[in-house]
Every structure is written in structure tokens, then in C-alpha cells.
Amino acid sequence: MGIGGCIILIAAGAILTFGTDWEVEGANLDVVGLILMAVGLIGVATFTSIAKRRRVVVPPATPVIDERATRRPYE
């Protein structure tokens, strides 16, 4: 699940929790919305920590110049 899926979970959870007044037998939609928002936030935190770890840039090493490669043959 990418960052977009996590944001969709957070939005769907917020809509269920704060934007509706539906009543469903056997389920509390406020709790379902809170669970969706929590899962979305955990997903965003996980995704950003993994993405940050992938973006570590190592500075390039000093280039080694091989003089044999720059010489012309028979000189």
C-alpha cells in the first residue's frame, strides 16, 4: 500500500467518523472510522520511514584515473 492508499484510508475513516450519522446493526461506524484512520496513519509512518531509508545518498568516491587507459599506444 502506497502513500495514496494510506491517505484514502484516512479520508474514508474521517468521513465515517465525522461526516455521517448512519446507524448499522452490529457495527459502530464511528469506531470503524477511527480504526481506518489509525491504520492509515500507521501506513503513512511506515511508508515514509522506508522511503527515507531508501533515499540515503552516499557521496561518490574520489575517481581513480588509470594512466594506462589515457596513453596512446606506441608512445
The DSSP element (H or E) to which 73 belongs, if any, is: none
Q: How many C-alpha atoms does 51 have within 13 Å on its Cβ side? A: 9
Cell, residue 22:
448512519
Q: What is the pLDDT of residues 1-60, one digit of tens each?
A: 788 999 999 999 999 999 988 888 999 999 999 999 999 999 999 998 888 777 666 666
Domain ranges of the chain: 3-46
CB 13 within 8 Å of CB 31? no
What is the model's pTM? Answer: 0.67
Cell, residue 3:
502513500
